[in-house]
Amino acid sequence: MIKLIKSTFYKERKIKDQLIRFIKSAKQLSFGQECIKFEQNFAKYQGRRFCISFNSGSSANLAIIQALLNMGKIKKGDCVGFSAVTWSTNVMPLIQLGLKPVPIDAELDTLNISSKKLLECAKKYPIKMLFITNLLGFCDDIDQIKKVCKEKKILLVEDNCESLGTIYKGEKLGNFGLASTSSFYVAHHISTIEGGVVCTDDRNLATMLKIVRAHGWDRNCTNSEQKEIRREFKVESSFYASYTFYDLGYNLRPMEIQGFLGNSQLQYVEEINKKRSENFMKLASQIYSLTDKYYPIRFDHIDFVSNFAVPVVCRSQKIIDKLIRKCKGIIEIRPIVAGDMTKQPFFRKYARKFIPKIRNSNASIIHEQGLYFGNNPELTKNDIKEIIKIFTSDK
């Protein structure tokens, strides 16, 4: 069986040994210096001024929405556009925090939303923010999306949990919006077992994210941030400062274990992404050429595809049914991310009135006729051969 996930993290044996030594020698295992070091290293890798770490990508998504609300950059009741094909915890914080989640259809050939789809949606809804998902290591014309957002004063934030390292028009995905989130859950490009970050160049947002991350207090902020906050709120006593809560928050902190793993995984990130990209190219060149069976997937507009998993969208229900049967027991497969979010029970329960009344949306086709299989640096030549055989043979 070619599993979706082959290891907990890259170089698992070696890193586990190092992790044991780290745990034995560390004086502190709750959030501390390793996490801060990882934030600095990750910010440098991503090419952003600030990186704030969390205990998961979902927590990073929740925190960015809460931080934007706390800062008044968005308000309760605002319409927020999101990619109709995405992950549940991209959309859930919008509902949980009182925003109106407006799904934007994907393009069938990139699986991502385009500036055209955004414009169509913005005609119908007064969108204040776009929480775009860069799906599976791909994007559509995100440079144009950024332009439309600027023109229409739409706040752009990227959920980049699946696209670490992809480069489009010379820029890493995750650097097109005000901020972006990443996930380091097992099977993502780098894994800290559980973990995530928000990256941004906006200093005030970075400070607010730290407040949101831990109880609403400022204790994980830098000295200069603390000084500014305490001055603004006229908190003069350092005794009370340690238990002063400035705005709405949670406890979404990662542990030193995640910081340690993040630092060690980052050493290999280029190697991992290169392997993922090479695997993808080998698989895509064979599988996607069968355009009578599958819808074509376009990625030649992307400089470097740091692929998360390999999607296939079948041209008919019959084709996908047969493919699912063929993969059984041989290749582990899944629906494409969470499929069309508007078909999910939670969305129907809480956001029914935002379900567009269009039949056969691309998101719906991707939901009904799409699947993906795993890509990871541990895929062997034989795995790739076997996958190509299953996906291209007529038997």
Ligand X SMILES: Cc1ncc(COP(=O)(O)O)c(C=O)c1O
Residues that bind ligand X (CB under 6 A): 56-58, 61, 86-87, 89-90, 133, 159, 161-162, 183, 185, 196, 337
What is the DSSP secondary structure assignment for residue 210, as one 8-state letter?
H
CB 56, min distance to ligand X, A: 4
CB 165, min distance to ligand X, A: 15
> Do the Cβ atoms of 71 and 155 come closer than 8 Å?
no
Q: Please, which residue, 53 or 89, has the CB nearer to ligand X?
A: 89
CA angle 346/125/134 to nearest 5° reads 60
Q: Residue 119 and residue 104: Cα distance in Å, rounded?
A: 10
Neighbours of 342 (CB within 10 A): 21
CB 190, min distance to ligand X, A: 12
CB 141, min distance to ligand X, A: 19
Residues facing 312 on adjacent strands: 371
CB 126, min distance to ligand X, A: 25
* Token pair of 381 as six digits: 């030549």
CA atoms within 13 A on the CB side of 339: 14
Q: Residue 149 and residue 169: Cα distance in Å, rounded?
A: 18
Q: Please, which residue, 110 or 183, has the CB nearer to ligand X?
A: 183
CB 286, min distance to ligand X, A: 26
Rg of the chain (C-alpha set): 21
The backbone region for 131, taken as left when phi is positive above 0, alpha when psi lies in -120 to 50, beta otherwise, is: beta
> Do the Cβ atoms of 159 and 144 come closer than 8 Å?
no
Q: Please, which residue, 159 or 340, has the CB nearer to ligand X?
A: 159
CB 86, min distance to ligand X, A: 5
> Do the Cβ atoms of 202 and 210 come closer than 8 Å?
no
Q: Please, which residue, 175 or 207, has the CB nearer to ligand X?
A: 175
